[in-house]
A and B are shown apart, each in its own frame.
Chain A
Amino acid sequence: MVGVKKKMVTLVSSDGVEFVVEKRVAEQSLFIKNALNEGGVEEKVMIPIPKVTSDTLSSVLEYCEKHASATEFQENEIEEWDKEYIEKADLDLLYYLLQASYSMSIMGLMELGAKKVASLIRGKSPQEIRELFNIKNDFTPEQEEEIRREMQWNYE
């Protein structure tokens, strides 16, 4: 790592991979920020990130790094970057990113992922949505009936 003075922390993914990152990058996650503040710890901090695998974590950290230095960029630059970043995530990664940003409390990333999923849902029928996300229809016949009635709306 460069810069001797930079405070570093080590994050450990659920599959045991260690990521050494600048503290200010890691603190994009409120979960980590709180953990660091609570402990009052200095160097050589190891923070386990449960439920987040190394693949996901490296992607999450890519986001955190960009946003930790957000002040260096124009606002629309960041927006463009966000767009590209989430565009290249496939469905699986998107799901992992959402889960990770939720458990690590990274609101910006969670919103970004949620918007992406919402854009995938838009304009699709319930059946198309089920097929896309591989979801089982678990409604009871009574609920099905209720839904059928609701969906009779005329939305010309």
Chain B
Amino acid sequence: MGNGFRPPLNTWWKPYRFAFPILPPGSPAAALFIIFVVEDVSAKIEEMGKEEEEEEAEIERLPVDILACIFSFLPSFIELAQASSVCRKWRRGVEQSLAQKERLSLSGFNVDDEILARIVHSAYGLKELDISRSCWRCKITDEGLYKISLAKCIGNLTYISMWGMARITDRGVIPLVTEATSLRHLNVGGTFITDESLFAIANSCPHLKAIVLWCCRHVTATGLILLVNTCRELESINVWGMRLPGNFVLELHSISPALQINHNISTQIPYV
């Protein structure tokens, strides 16, 4: 985020202050020391520390590493966002802790495509991504999904939840799942995907264990059968609220007998 901007004069030495706790803020000595900072910061840090101590403890002087450690204990995304709006150093701390994060939930936040893409691109170590919505004004579109399909972490993702994202279709889901080859769990419930997305999943995600297609009304039995046929590690499937023929459960079980099928298909009168 830093763009080389020089802060106002009275704070210009501040970033280095934590390294020189013996210098009272604003002293002429502080001004002298800054000259050496340019030459070798780390060597100087080692030498300092004895003699006097700082007058007041300011959390602001904590190194970014410690900040990142603190932020790693903030569970929700909104708290990270709040922290990153405090000051520039905290913003760097949040970025660093984001890069170390394995799980990220944006569920319920009204994030747009651009912000989503930026967050996911900086989360190098990400394994689990939840962008499902809990408010009706979800701004993420296929464009956003396409953008995150280009992120570094995408091949390591084992879990993606996108349920209830009313604006996404095959156009975004296909590029995403094509890159997400390590995927184990996928939730696309309530979206408008069709069999095309299922074909892409079947082709790219051989390790898929669970998929939720709750209320995906544009997905048909053809897509599901192909998916179950191809993804042999599939253990559970949720087809609740989909329009499927009455003998469908039997059909899936004939392909994969152990498959757990969560459904509300009426099977009282099975026609076989």
Please list the residues of chain A having a beta carbon within 8 angstroms of any beta carbon in chain B.
Answer: 14-15, 48, 50-53, 91-93, 95-96, 98-99, 102, 110-111, 114-115, 117-119, 121-126, 129-130, 133-140, 142-143, 146-147, 150-156
Contacts and interface: CB of A to CB of B under 8 A. Distances in A.
Interface string B122-147: 00000000000001010000000000
A153 B78 contact: yes
Contact of B73 (A99, A114, A138): A114
What are the 10 tightest A-B residue pairs by CB atom distance, in nearest-first order?
Answer: A50-B49, A51-B49, A118-B73, A154-B110, A92-B57, A126-B85, A95-B57, A133-B59, A114-B70, A114-B69
Interface in B37-91: 46, 48-51, 53, 56-63, 65-66, 69-74, 78-79, 81-88, 90
A139 to B, nearest CB: 6
Nearest to A53: B53
B87 A136 contact: yes
A76 B51 CA distance: 40
Given A117-B59, A151-B85, A14 B53 contact: yes
Contact of B58 (A52, A123, A133, A155): A133
Given A118-B73, A150-B115, A126 B82 contact: yes
B79 A126 contact: no
With a 10 A CB-CB cut-off, give which of B7, B60, B70, B73 has the most chain A CB atoms: B70
A126 B58 CA distance: 16
8 contacts: A95-B61, A102-B66, A121-B70, A121-B74, A125-B82, A134-B60, A138-B14, A138-B88
A98 to B, nearest CB: 5
A81 to B, nearest CB: 19
B88 to A, nearest CB: 5
B132 to A, nearest CB: 14
A150 B1 CA distance: 13
